[in-house]
Amino acid sequence: MPDSAVSRASAPSAESNAPRHTLTVRVTHWITVLSFLALLVTGCGILISHPRFYWGETGNSGTTPLFSFHIPASRATVPTGYKYVLPDQNGWGRYLHFQSAWVAVLTGLVYAAFSFFSGHLRRNLVPERGSLGSLRPDPARPDSYNPLQRLTYLLVIFGLFPFVVWTGLAMSPAFVSAVPAAVTVLGGTQSARTLHFFVSVALVLFLLVHLVMVWRAGFVRRVGAMITGRAFASREER
Inside any domain, residue 56: no
Residue 8 pLDDT: 43
Residue 51 pLDDT: 94
Strands (E), the chain: 52-53, 67-68
Residue 140 pLDDT: 55
Residue 76 pLDDT: 85
Question: Are 102 and 39 contacting, i.e. CB atoms less than 8 angstroms apart?
Answer: no
Domain tally, the chain: 1
Residue 232 pLDDT: 60
Inside any domain, residue 155: yes
CA–CA gap between residue 233 and residue 238 (Å, rounded):
6
Inside any domain, residue 59: no
Question: Are 21 and 227 contacting, i.e. CB atoms less than 8 angstroms apart?
Answer: no
At 45, which helix (H) or strand (E)?
A: helix 23-49
Residue 139 pLDDT: 55
Residues 6+ apart with CB under 8 A from 130: none
Query: What average pLDDT values come out for the chain (238 residues) when binned by 10 residues?
Result: 44 50 92 96 93 93 91 87 84 92 96 93 81 58 73 94 96 92 95 97 95 87 86 53
Closest CA to 51 of 66, 39, 69, 67: 69
Inside any domain, residue 89: no
Residue 130 pLDDT: 61
Domain limits for position 172:
25-39+94-228
Inside any domain, residue 165: yes
Instruction: For residue 118, give the CATH number of its domain.
Output: 1.20.950
Inside any domain, residue 114: yes
